[in-house]
Structure 1
Amino acid sequence: MGIDALIFDVDGTLADTEEAHRVAFNLAFERYSLGWSWSRAEYRGLLDVTGGKERIAGYIQSLPLAAADCRRLLDLVPHIHREKTRFYSSMVNDGGIALRDGVARLLDEALHAGRRLAIASTTSAINVDALLHSTLGPRGLEMFSVIACGDQVKHKKPAPDIYQLALRTLGLTPDRAVALEDSANGLRAAVAAGLWTVITPTFWTEGSDFSAAGLVLPRLGDPHKPLNDEPGRQLKSVAWLSFEELARHARPPAPLDAVQALYRRVPQ
């Protein structure tokens, strides 16, 4: 299999952003005097729902509320989420979030090898823009040929829509690209789109079922922050995932199981 593009998730994959998101949600809740405060343990469970507005709505619907109160709060969701995005963007713009180990290196290696980069994320475009500019500088947006965000598709992960959109825009079939993810929902979306997928979990996603992944590593690693027990365990040449090694590993994914098949749609 030849790789023409790498398609990256954002939250948890490019950077471990979830703590900043959690804090931003809580600040927005405080601004609206809602009396809610999501703990780390609670937020970890809430991440089963992809998309910030969907996460707030799902939380509201889980509360023991009268129907009228539930409707009133659901009407507030876009406003709460807008405020949350403002808090999150401020934290990112202040330099509070760094790329995960090995991400900047792998991006540069792929570009140096003449491959393209893409993003397939359920987060909003403004969040993606803020993170790329804060961590990669003015060239951040220019590095990616395609940036597909959650509001551009009808169904968010674990549906494959966002990956199918990225593939269509790249003009590639799934066997010519590799996805990089950190979560079970992201993996299901990528595999349902036909993509061979690398998983690098975080605190928020570790322990999930990643059996459908092509490769699971604790992180990408770097020469100055090598992976333990590598090379020799999963990697053959160096103790970090290089683009060269990724190209050797990548192969078309195994056939979909019955659950993954539910999300399979052929790109139009």
Structure 2
Amino acid sequence: MGRFEVAIFDLDGVIILSEKLYADVASELLISLGIQPENVDRDRFVGGSAERMWSTLFEEHGVDEDVHRILAVEKEMQFKAVQKNLTEIVNPGIFEMINELLELGFELGLATSSWRRSVDQILERLGIGEKFSATVCGDEVTKGKPSPEIYNTILRKLGQSTSRCLVFEDSENGLQSATAAGLTCVRVALGAQSDKEALRIPDFRSSARRDVIEYLKSEFII
């Protein structure tokens, strides 16, 4: 084993492709609050704290509503949507990527903005819960992504230094969170690679997994 010993995954947008489901839930809630979804730039909030999103939107649109009540409603709606569609939204090749990293001797972690109840159900249903040595969820930190708190927390739980950990993230907020914690990040997204990313892959199909393995070889890891 070389420089990296741990791979830390985000959940939404990396292990499962849940963003469309979450966007539909948010649209339904926005309409119920008198806000037209097309008037809201939600891309800036993807991968970040839901509390921050709703607080910002309420302030911008003059909505007098209890943020925590809306959060509870949103999380319940998201939970039901994911449970109903889980098998259809698994990121192609993710199970193979996880197993290949484990075969290389990597320890795995999970750092996600989703709440613990939903995360545990998802990992159990996908049969991968026991593959992760440590997990940290959005309701277990004070500040969500793009704050580095969630990654600093999982580093402590894993007992690892930043130099030993490779992160898989999809969103800009997630990337900012990981890099602010001093971590090396593989971006799972379409488009051109930025200078903040060690590597960018569109998914975890065979060609993308090969790119990850080649990157690890280039770092003298395997």
TM-score bracket, normalised by the shorter chain, equals: 0.7 to 0.9
Match of 1:90 among 71, 80, 95: 80
In structure 1, the partner of 2:151 is 163
Give the 5 Å matches for 1:180-191. Answer: 180-191=168-179
Q: Deviations over 1:52-92 (max 9, x none)?
A: 122111111111x3xxxx4x31xx21111111111111121
In structure 2, the partner of 1:261 is none
CA contact 2:48–2:174 (8 Å) conserved in 1: no
- Percent identity, aligned pairs only, is 25
Give the 5 Å matches for 1:63-82. Answer: 63=61, 65=62, 70=63, 72-73=64-65, 76-82=66-72
CA contact 1:184–1:210 (8 Å) conserved in 2: no
Which secondary structure does the structure 2 equivalent of 1:220 belong to? Answer: coil
- Using the alignment, how far apart are the partners of 2:91 and 2:173 within structure 1? 20
Give the 5 Å matches for 1:162-241. Answer: 162-201=150-189, 210-222=194-206, 226=207, 240-241=209-210
Match of 1:55 among 53, 63, 87: 53
CA contact 2:47–2:172 (8 Å) conserved in 1: no
Which secondary structure does the structure 1 equivalent of 2:166 belong to? Answer: strand
**Unaligned 5+ runs, structure 2:** none
Which secondary structure does the structure 2 equivalent of 1:194 belong to? Answer: coil
In structure 2, the partner of 1:132 is 123
Query: Relative to structure 1, is the Cα distance of residues 49 and 200 closer, same or farther in structure 2, using a 3 angstrom cutoff?
Result: closer
Query: Relative to structure 1, is the Cα distance of residues 147 and 174 closer, same or farther in structure 2, using a 3 angstrom cutoff?
Result: same
**Unaligned 5+ runs, structure 1:** 228-239, 252-268
Q: Which structure shows the higher helix fraction?
A: 2
**Is residue 152 from structure 1 mapped to residue 140 from structure 2 by the alignment?**
yes
Residue 161 of structure 1: how far off its partner (Å)? 1.2
Which secondary structure does the structure 2 equivalent of 1:180 belong to? Answer: strand
Q: How many residues align structurally?
A: 218
- Between 1:43-52 and 1:7-16, the stretch displaced more is 43-52
Query: Relative to structure 1, is the Cα distance of residues 109 and 243 closer, same or farther in structure 2, using a 3 angstrom cutoff?
Result: farther
Higher relative CO (Cα under 8 Å, sequence separation at least 6) belongs to 2
Residue 246 of structure 1: how far off its partner (Å)? 4.2
CA contact 2:188–2:200 (8 Å) conserved in 1: yes
**Is residue 110 from structure 1 mapped to residue 101 from structure 2 by the alignment?**
yes
Residue 250 of structure 1: how far off its partner (Å)? 4.5
CA contact 1:190–1:197 (8 Å) conserved in 2: yes
Query: Relative to structure 1, is the Cα distance of residues 61 and 48 closer, same or farther in structure 2, using a 3 angstrom cutoff?
Result: farther
